[in-house]
Each structure stands twice: as structure tokens, then as C-alpha cells.
Structure 1
Amino acid sequence: MAAMWRSLTYWPLMEDWRILQWGHKEKDLQLVKKYQPQNKEVKQLRVLLHGPIGAGKSSFINSVESVLQGRITGRALTDTNAQEGFTRKHTTYKIYKQPGVIYPFVFTDTMGLEEGTDGGVCVEDIKLAMKGHIKEGYNFDPHSVISEDDPNYNMEPTLEDKVHVLVCVIDASTGDLLGDTNLRKMREVRLAASDMGIPQVAILTKIDDVCPEVKTNLRNVYKSKLLKEKMDKLSAMLGFPPNFIFPVKNYHSEVDTEDDVDAVILSALKRILDSGEEFLNHL
């Protein structure tokens, strides 16, 4: 009966289209905890997140910290109202291994992109941030790019000030993934990062809102036809190779960490660190 029902309706699951070793959380966690940049000019690998407002950039930072701390955290402030960007400042988040000791990678959050030309972060500001020209605490202005005479403009950025990995964060639950304006902006940022040699990883968030089978059981993430279609669509739109796109469920309503949520976050985090390390080792 079940086989007949499946043949008459759209069955949302398929054979695994990517393999994730579920139940290996502790092994993956130890790999992350042992990471150390080999380039002696850099104490901390810098990861810059960008994408549309409400995509889950700050939530991803909180989710990574939650995995590493073993408890739910919320230092990167978020807002459930996706109609207006909540992050305004150029803010870098350091995650503590223990009191006084931080992980050798940091996440820099940016103001979100908005459809149209009169809102959201300026693309030129993202380019300058990747080059290390924007200092911590700068308030993004949707209507103007930072000038060289601004006190928050870094005239002589070091390698550590510069971005080593660009992470594009996209809300998978939106129908078209990206509007025309944001697609153009993100392509422009991608091309600029490519010109600088900066590796790029894409994160698809809110995957449990896309596929009911994933909401029921997160281990269906790499069996979901709906998520595979979303990933293929994003690959075609922005040009990311599929193996650099990671579907992720951020922590949102949970009050305790969960092994399966940790597993998909760690999978993305490992690719981010590996990409950044390769970049630093080939300068």
C-alpha cells in the first residue's frame, strides 16, 4: 500500500545525494577544536558573512558558537522581523574555547542586502570589508560608501584584517531564493571576491521550513528532493559548485543543542575552515 501511495503522489525523498556521517559529531568537533592557521602572519582566520536581510547570518554565527560551547548562545543579536535589517555595525565575533582563550577563527557580520537601491548594505562596502579597509564598529550607511577620511577606514590593512573566506547566506524557504537586485549584488560581490582569490562557501538556511520530511527528521536533509532542487537552483544562479553549498538548520526555538543539528553545522564549518586554510597557505 505504501509503495502504491508513493507512486501516485510526489514522494519528497530520494537516495542520498550527499553522504554525511551521522553520529560522528565528537570526531568532527575535535577536528575543529584542533584547527590552527599554519600561516604565521595570521592568528585568526577571518570569515565574512553576507546575504539578504533575514537570511540567518547572525543566527549561523550563534549556531556555530552553540555547537562549540555545547549550549545555546545568542551573542549575535537577531530579529524575527525579516522586513528590516537588524545588523547595522561591522561586527566581529570571537568564540571562546575557555576563559581567556579564543578559537583561531572569527566571524564578521555585515548589514544585510535589500532589494532595490535605497536600502541595505552598499556592495562597495562589502568589497572594502573583504580588503580589510573597514574597522570594527563601523555603522553601515545604505546611502553612501565609507570614505577614506572616515575614522573607521583602515588605510593599511594587514593580512589578518583581510577576509580569508566569504560565506554567502541564503534563506532556502523563499520561493525564488533571490530577487533580481540581490542576485545582481551577490554576483558582483562573488566576482570581486574571486578577483581577490578569496574562497567562497554558500549556506542554505531554514531548510526545515522547505521540506516537511526534514522538519520531521533532520537526517533526511541529503535525501530531500526539494532541498536538492533548491541547491541546484542556487548553483545555477550564483555559480557555486554544489559541493560548496551547505544546507543548514540554525538553532532557533531549541533550548538545548542537538547532535543532528550540530552535525550539519559542523559539516559547513569544516568546509569554511578548510577553504580559508588553503587560501592562506597559497598566498
Structure 2
Amino acid sequence: MTFLQKLGFWRKKERKETEAPPFLSKPWREINWGDNQRDLQYVKDYRPQTDGQQLRILLHGHIGAGKSSFINSVQSVLQGRMYTQALADKTFHDCFTKGYTTYNIQKDRDTFYPFVFNDIMGLAKDKGVQVDDIKLALKGHVKDNYRFNRDSRMSEDDPFYINHPTDNDKVHVLVCVIDANTVTCMHNEIEEKIRNIRKEATHLSIPQVAILTKIDETCPEIKEDLQNVYKVNYLKEKMEQFSVNVGIPMNCIFPVKNYDREIDLNSDVDSLILSALKHIINFGEDCINFHKSQQLRAMSYQNNNM
């Protein structure tokens, strides 16, 4: 072996020794793998403290990130079978979802779950949904079935504009859905739009959550075994990078795998979806209770000053 060959060999060896191992010594977040019944029952038992209150969850994110697929996956877990109410298209390279669509999830023959999902047109660099329209949706000004115009924001004289939104019209949790494979190569303009929307949600005291989809495509270790999701350092670094880029804390970011090619439910897929859903509901409930307390405080102040 020549000197240059030896030098190359030791440099390779040194590089391998200094590289971070693919697996962490222990999972950095615990999941109740195989104990889905407890989390499922938690979701089924959820009731807002106020009668008639509906928890509204608004999904937004880059085109093709998996917003519609996440809604379908949640419905599949709760229904106990594959469900495809929210239409999605993996071959569609433009905004497949064009309107503001509300999805109610049926609980039994006569009742629905007290939370709803809203799907909207995706974000894009120079097309897609207007950021101002998402801000209007956060405040409850957008009626169901409104079709977004990528060239102009919704006007107040539009028939789908709600002049006096109720508490049920307003959004209680904002969920940013991101393809895990695009986290480190997302266009600056998309990141800026996400930060802009997040800033408005913060101003309105609406909690924000991020869902990282397609995690099985990020590395072979997760594709081989979904339970490696919190053991693989590579995905943790992607989540940390996204947290830094848009400002969403790590404890509000949840990696999931949507149902896409499966024809039967999978326990590990369900575990991640239920974990994310449980926290989304908790954050939404906190939002509802906070705004109710603010309203009661304002009413009390007015009464005391009459």
C-alpha cells in the first residue's frame, strides 16, 4: 500500500469514527407503541367544556406535503378502517385542494366528534393560497367551500365572507404540514410565509403544531421499522432545523407516516397519528378555554364599570 493509499485509508477511518451514529443510545421521545387503545379512548372521550363548542383545526403547508392524506389517516384510525373522504392525488404537481373544506368525523350513527379539520390550498413560492386568506380563516371569516384565488385575497363583500364569526367559526389550532424530505431544502419564500402565518396565529393566541410527513422516505432505518423514528438522529436533526427555521418549538413538532399505499391499518402508523392528534386536541382545548376566560373577564370588567 502506497503512502497516499494509506493516508486515504486513515482519513476514511477517521471520518467514520467521527460521524454521528445512525441510532441514538435511547429514544429521545417516548411513544406508547402497541398501546393505542388508551390514546384512542382519550380521543373518543374528549368533550369541550362548553356545550356546543367545536374545536377547529386548520391545516396548511407546502403543496403535496400531505394535508389531505393526514386528514384521511386520522379518519382511518378513528373509524377503524381505511377512509378517503379528503381527496388527494400524488401525481398532481399543482394545488390539488382548491377550496376551504371542513371535514367532520362521524363517531357513530347519530353523532360526530367535537373537532373538525379544515383543508386549504397549499403554499407555493409564486402561487398557491394567499397568506392573507389563511389569516382570514384563522379569524373565522371564511365559509366552508370557498374557492381560493391564488392571484388575489378574499374581499369582505364576497358571499363566502363571514362578517361576524362565532367561536365555532374561528380556528383553535393551526397545524403546519411539512414533507420531512423538504425541510432542509425548503425555499426561503415558503419559510417566510410559514413564519408570517405563525406570527398572526400567535397574535390571535392560537397554538401552532407541525406535522412532519413521509418520514419513512427520509432514511432506510425508519422505512424498515417505524419504531425507530425517535432513535434515528438524522430525523431529529431535520426536526431541529425546521424548528429553528420557522420558530415552532420541538415539543410541538410530530413526525407521522400517513396511510398511502396500505390497504389495512398498521399499529405503528396509528401510534404516531394518535400521539399527534391527542396533543393537537389538548392544545386546542387550551385555546378554547383561554378565549372563554378572556371573554368572561371582559364581561366582568364591563359590568363593574356600568
Structure 1's 280 and 8: CA in aligned 2 closer, same or farther, altered over 3 A?
closer
Give the secondary structure class of the aligned counterpart of 2:265.
coil
Q: Which has the larger radius of gyration?
A: 2
2:142 to 134, 138, 148: 134
Give the secondary structure class of the aligned counterpart of 1:275.
helix
- Answer yes or no: is the 8 Å Cα contact 2:184–2:238 preserved in 1: no
Compute the RMSD of aligned alpha carbons. 1.4
Shift of 1:225: 1.0
- Answer yes or no: is the 8 Å Cα contact 1:52–1:112 preserved in 2: yes
Say if 2:237 is the partner of 1:229: yes
Say if 2:163 is the partner of 1:155: yes
Please give the alpha-carbon distance, in whole angstroms, between the structure 1 residues aligned to 2:158 and 2:265: 42
Structure 1's 8 and 156: CA in aligned 2 closer, same or farther, altered over 3 A?
closer
Residue in 1 that maps onto 2:128: 120
Please give the alpha-carbon distance, in whole angstroms, between the structure 2 residues aligned to 1:133 and 1:245: 27
Structure 1's 29 and 277: CA in aligned 2 closer, same or farther, altered over 3 A?
same
Residue in 1 that maps onto 2:58: 48
Residue in 2 that maps onto 1:106: 116
Please give the alpha-carbon distance, in whole angstroms, between the structure 2 residues aligned to 1:212 and 1:226: 11
- Give per-residue Cα distances to partners, 1:229-261, cap 9 Å, x unaligned: 110001100111111000000001000011110
- Percent sequence identity is 54
Calculate the TM-score normalised by the size of structure 1.
Answer: 0.94
- Give per-residue Cα distances to partners, 1:179-210, cap 9 Å, x unaligned: 11111111000000000000011000000000
- Which amino acid in 2 is paired with 1:63? S
Please give the residue correspondences for 1:68-107 in structure 2 after superposition, counting only pairs within 5 Å: 68-81=78-91, 83-107=93-117
- Which amino acid in 1 is paired with 2:168? E
- Answer yes or no: is the 8 Å Cα contact 1:171–1:177 preserved in 2: no
Residue in 1 that maps onto 2:210: 202
Shift of 1:178: 2.2
Please give the alpha-carbon distance, in whole angstroms, between the structure 1 residues aligned to 2:162 and 2:41: 35
- Which amino acid in 2 is paired with 1:55? A
- Which amino acid in 1 is paired with 2:39? D
- Answer yes or no: is the 8 Å Cα contact 2:104–2:116 preserved in 1: yes
Structure number with higher helix proportion: 2
- Which amino acid in 2 is paired with 1:166? L
- Which amino acid in 1 is paired with 2:85? R
Shift of 1:9: 7.2
Give the secondary structure class of the aligned counterpart of 2:211.
strand
Gaps of 5+ in 1: 1-5
Please give the alpha-carbon distance, in whole angstroms, between the structure 2 residues aligned to 1:209 and 1:114: 22
Give the secondary structure class of the aligned counterpart of 1:75.
coil
Residue in 2 that maps onto 1:36: 47
1:23 to 34, 52, 77: 34
Please give the alpha-carbon distance, in whole angstroms, between the structure 2 residues aligned to 1:144 and 1:102: 35
Residue in 1 that maps onto 2:303: none
Shift of 1:176: 2.2
Please give the alpha-carbon distance, in whole angstroms, between the structure 1 residues aligned to 2:165 and 2:276: 28
Give the secondary structure class of the aligned counterpart of 1:174.
helix
Give the secondary structure class of the aligned counterpart of 1:269.
helix
The number of equivalent residue pairs is: 275
Residue in 2 that maps onto 1:213: 221
- Give per-residue Cα distances to partners, 1:67-120, cap 9 Å, x unaligned: 00111111100010352110001000000011221101000001000012xx10
